[in-house]
Amino acid sequence: MQAKDIRSRYLDFFKKQNHAIIPSAPLVPENDPTTLFTGSGMQPIVPYLLGEQHPFGVRIANVQKCFRSQDIEEVGDNRHTTFFEMLGNWSFGNYFKEEQIGWMWNFLTEEIGLDPKRLYFTCFRGNEELGIPRDTESAEMWKMHFSSIGIDADIADFPEQNGMQGARIFYYDEKKNWWSRAGIPQSMPIGEPGGPDTEMFWDFGEELGLHERSPWKDQPCHVNCDCGRFMEIGNNVFMEYKKTANGFEKLSQRNVDFGGGLERLVAAVENDPDIFRSDLFAGLRNRIETLSGKRYGEESSSMYAFRIIMDHIRASVFLISDAVRPSNADQGYVLRRLIRRAVRYADVLGIQSGQLASCVAFVVDDYAGTYEFSGQKNTIENVIANEEAKFRETLAHGTKELEKRLLDGAISGKEAFDLFSTYGFPFEMTQEIAAERGVSVDEKGFRDEFARHQLLSRTASQGKFKGGLANHSAKVTAFHTATHLMLAGLRQELGNDVHQAGSNITEERSRFDFTYPEKVSRDVLDRVEAYVNKAIASGAAVTVQVTEKDVAQRLGIEGSFWEKYPEKVSVYQIASPDGTVYSRELCGGPHVGNTLEMSSFGRFRIIKEEASSAGVRRIKAIFEEDASGSGV
C-alpha cells in the first residue's frame, strides 16, 4: 500500500461518514499575521472550532500540507521532517468521542490493515488544579474496541515512571495529552481553545532492538519515550475548553480535531521506522544516490546527510510553489536556511556543485496526481540553483573569516558559532580546517551556543513576532538592545500599559509589536527615537542580574511572555555613567556590553508605525548611516 492509497482511503472513508472533503490550505497562511507557516491541519480551522459556521457544514475532512520550522534541527533521524502531510477530520459541535474513536479504530485496523496487537493509545490524566478531569471515557472506549476482537487491554498510569506495565492504554499529563496552539493549558492565552487528546501509537516491535540500542536504554520504555520503538501516528483532540481570565470553561460546542501524519502512517503500514524509505521519497532518494554514488542505508555515516537533503529539498519545492522566495526575513529566511543546509550536506555526500536543482523534477514526479505544481518546475529549479550559487559565495567569505581566527591559535565555541550563524560556515568544516593547521576548536562551547540558538528558534517559531532573532550577529544584537530602549521610550511617552507583543529582528531592521489602542503620532515617535539615540550616545553599560521570577514580577520589572521563562530570570539594565537608567527589562539576551557599540551602525530611526492587530501597533526601525556610509 503506497502513500497515495492511504490518502485516498482516508478521504473515501470519511466521505462515507458524511464529511465534506475540502482542499489543503496554502503553506503560507492567508490573513494570519501570528505565524509564518501552516503547521497543522487545524490551523485554518480555528474560527469554526470557536463557533463560526463553516460553509461546508459541521463535518469536514482533508489532507493538509504542513511545514514546521521548529523541526529543522530535528531532521536527520528516521522520523522527523519539516514538510509533511496531515490527514484531518473535524466535527464542529456534531459527533464527539464515541464516533471518532470508533472510526479511527476501523480506519487503522480495517481500511489500512494495521495489526491491532501493535497498536497502543494514550489519554489525558487530568489536572485537578485546573479543574479538568481525567479522560476515562476515551480510555474505556479503546479498551472496548480491543475487547471486541478478543484482546484484554489493560489501562495503566504513570508509564513514564513505571514503563509498559503490560498495558495497551496509558494516561499522561498535559505535556503529552493536551492540545492547543499554545501548548499546555498553563501557556494558553485568554480566548484560546484547547482540550484533552487521545493519541495513537504503532509498535515497531522489540525484535528490532531499538530500545536496547538507544541512549535511553537504562530508562523505562514506554510509548512516549524517545528510544524509537514506538511512533505516534495520529492524535484525536477533543476540543471542548476555552481559556478565560477565571480558568477554563466549556466551549459553546464540543469539537473533534483529528490529525494524522501521512508519512508516519506509511511507516506503520510498512512496519519500517525509517520514513525516508517510503515511496514518498522514492524518486528523490534514487536521484541523490545517483548524484552521490552512494546507496541510502549502506553506510550509517551518510544517512544523516541523505535525510537532510531529502527533507530540505522536498520542503523547498513545496514552499517555492506556494510563492516563498529566499530572503533574510520571515518565510524567506527559513527557505534560505533549508536550501543552504541541503547544499552543506550535498558537499558531505560528494555531490558536485550546482546539482541539487536537478532533484526538483523527482519531487514533482513523486507527487504527480496529488499536488499540481502548475508548470513551476523550471522556476523552482532556478530558485534553488541561484540560492546555492549565493551560498557558495557566502562560504568563501566564511573561509576568510576563519583564516583570521586561526591566527589566534585556538577557536572558541562562540567564534565557531558566529562563523556558523553569521556566515553559514559549517561547524564540521571549521573543525576539519582547524585540525589541518593544528588548531583546537571548543566543540562543547559551540554546542552550548547552538543549544541557546535552538531555544530562541523554537520560541520564535511558535509565533511570527515572538522573540524572533535572525541570528546573533553584531548588528542583530545591536538592534535587539535598541528595541529594548525603544520599548522603554514608548512606555515613558504612552504609559505603563504599553508592553511588548512580539518582535522580529534581522540584519536589516527591527520590527516590534506593542500593546496600544490607537495610532501613535509622529511627534511621539520622534521623542522615542531621540530617547534611544540619547541612550546610545551616553555610553550606557548593559548589565544583567539573575533573580527569582516571582521577585522580578513583584518589583514590577518590565517583561512579556513571562510563561516562557524559567524560575530564575535575567534582568537586563541599561544605565549611563551618570546613573540614568534607560531600560530595565526581563530578557534572554543577547545584548551589547555598552551602548556606544551600537553607534557604529548609525543613528536609530523609526521609519514606520502601523496597526498590527486589534489593540496592537507595529513599529519598523533601522540604523541609518550618513551620506558617507559611516555611522552617525
Domain boundaries, the chain: 3-274, 278-391, 407-464, 468-624
> Which position has the grid cell 554546542?
447
| Grid cell at residue 208 | 528490532
Report the C-alpha gap between 121 and 235 in whole angstroms.
10
Report the C-alpha gap between 94 and 152 in whole angstroms.
31
548 forms beta bridges with 568
> pLDDT-derived band of residue 465, with 50, 70 and 90 as boundaries?
very low
So what's the pLDDT on residue 588? 60
> pLDDT-derived band of residue 462, with 50, 70 and 90 as boundaries?
very low
Helices (H), 293-426: 300-321, 330-348, 360-366, 377-406, 413-423
Mean pLDDT of the chain: 87
Give me the phi and psi of 573, to 5 degrees please.
-120, 135
So what's the pLDDT on residue 133? 95
Residue 519 has pLDDT above 80, yes or no: yes
Q: What is the pLDDT of residues 333-386, one digit of tens each?
A: 889 889 988 998 998 899 999 999 999 999 999 898 888 786 789 999 999 999
> pLDDT-derived band of residue 128, with 50, 70 and 90 as boundaries?
very high
For the beta carbon of residue 519, count every other beta carbon within 10 angstroms.
Answer: 11
Share of the chain above pLDDT 90, in %: 54
The CATH code of domain 3-274 reads 3.30.930.10
Report the C-alpha gap between 448 and 468 in whole angstroms.
19
Residue 88 has pLDDT above 60, yes or no: yes
The amino acid at residue 493 is E
> pLDDT-derived band of residue 201, with 50, 70 and 90 as boundaries?
very high
CATH of 468-624, one of 3.20.20.30, 3.30.1490.100, 3.30.980.10, 3.40.50.12500: 3.30.980.10
Report the C-alpha gap between 137 and 86 in whole angstroms.
26
| Grid cell at residue 511 | 520590527
Q: How far is CA 186 from the centre of its chain?
A: 19
Share of the chain above pLDDT 70, in %: 92
Least confident of 86-90, 119-123, 359-363, 558-562: 558-562
So what's the pLDDT on residue 261? 95
Report the C-alpha gap between 422 and 401 in whole angstroms.
10
So what's the pLDDT on residue 481? 92
Helices and strands, number each (H, E), in the chain:
18, 20
Residue 194 has pLDDT above 70, yes or no: yes
User: What is the DSSP code (8-state) at residue 507?
Assistant: S
pLDDT (average), residues 318-343: 87
Cβ distance 515 to 501 under 8 Å?
A: yes
Report the C-alpha gap between 35 and 25 in whole angstroms.
14
232 forms beta bridges with 201
HSE (CB half, 13 Å, CA atoms) of 580? 14
> pLDDT-derived band of residue 566, with 50, 70 and 90 as boundaries?
very low
pLDDT (average), residues 588-602: 85
Q: What is the pLDDT of residues 37-61, one digit of tens each?
A: 888 888 778 778 877 777 788 999 9
| Grid cell at residue 619 | 513599529
Least confident of 247-256, 317-326, 402-411, 565-574: 565-574
CA R_g for the chain: 26
3-state DSSP assignment of residue 123: strand
Cβ distance 405 to 415 under 8 Å?
A: yes
Helix axes 377-406, 300-321, angle to 10 degrees: 130
Residue 216 has pLDDT above 80, yes or no: no
Helices (H), 60-151: 97-106, 136-148
Least confident of 119-123, 192-196, 378-382, 427-431: 427-431
DSSP-based helix, strand, coil % in the chain, nearest 5:
45, 25, 35
Query: What b-and-e string marks burial along 174-184, b requiring 16 or more CB atoms within 10 Å of the CB?
Result: bebbbbbbebb
pTM: 0.67
